[in-house]
Structure 1
């Protein structure tokens, strides 16, 4: 798998007549890092749900390397695609078992290599029994940042060509934030990646930013291109860089994505 993804006239609804996505046309090149931004309910999560085939399109088609996703088995997709959720799923079991989840063929060496790659190895080795340490349900005996690093290790242990990531928004300490940003760069390297992005640092580094608004693709471009466009993304960026003092810098104020009257003309 090369990792080329195309949306061609894609529409989707859960209830007939109530469209969640409408006329989505988008091309993601192999190895490209794409950031999805938009307000809650805009359709970002639905887009990645369709790519991962948790549901099928109701109009148009999505292709991966030219193959209609509806003709690709879930088993085949899982072997080539990983998804990291904002709240990582960790279960009661060892650290090693959690990283190996859905990749039972992964050797102990591959697990350690994946953990090293994302910066998780040191904290794992500091645990009572290292990789054999038992985790509480949902990883309750780990910090938010540690859970995220384990989820990154799990995501790359199978060496997927496509990675889908819903970036965590939880408050974490500065040291862990730096570790996670380094891990994120390593995880996204040389893979087609789609990130539901909340941090401006992640978005600025993306090859392509896709702004989703009311079930449609509103804008597509690089960080600089969209700033120069002066539309939805530019307003969002302005809010997050101090033009309003009631918002914390570095994460999105989704209200900034509400269309202005000028956008309707």
Structure 2
């Protein structure tokens, strides 16, 4: 009788451990949040990083190699990396496919449809070399400019996949740790959302034990795709108050974790 009771208790304990693990699949938390900021803007250094640092959060900043802001404020980007922020690869010149409808704003020199695969791959690798010269790191993630995946039907990322831990796309959606496509991680692009609306996405991720990736451009200005400083701070403060349940980290750290788990 005692043996049966002991076995039953052991079984009960194992079931509870498995249940607890399934309910906390993100580094021991209910969900994961990755904050990404595209195009290396002044506001990222001046407004975003002080808020993140205040709450001890690391984020991913997707940088283009030829941006003036990278050139003029390189030491600040270097310091940001030392604090734990990721400098992600957003290509050298941010080329977008100008053959797509409503892309009249794409200049010929940065028209991805006029690129060769060789040129795209070379510019991505050159940007990796530049970023390593800044932060000294060998591992980072990639973000597709404008979410464009192909050059005349050919997927160019396949040629540089070994250079990265993962790649972030622009398709909207929450991600499950079991079904995530590491070559095209989904996100939510922010433009005009309130703090409440962004927090709602985090709560949905908590309810589904999912990953939510935020894609920011302007924060308080400097880009046509923009959210207010107040809304951004409201989101960060919510995340800070719920650190017990929410894992906030860089894209590269979350991607590393997923690969190790798999």
TM-score by length of 2: 0.31
By percentage of residues, which structure has more helix? 2
Higher strand content, 1 or 2: 1
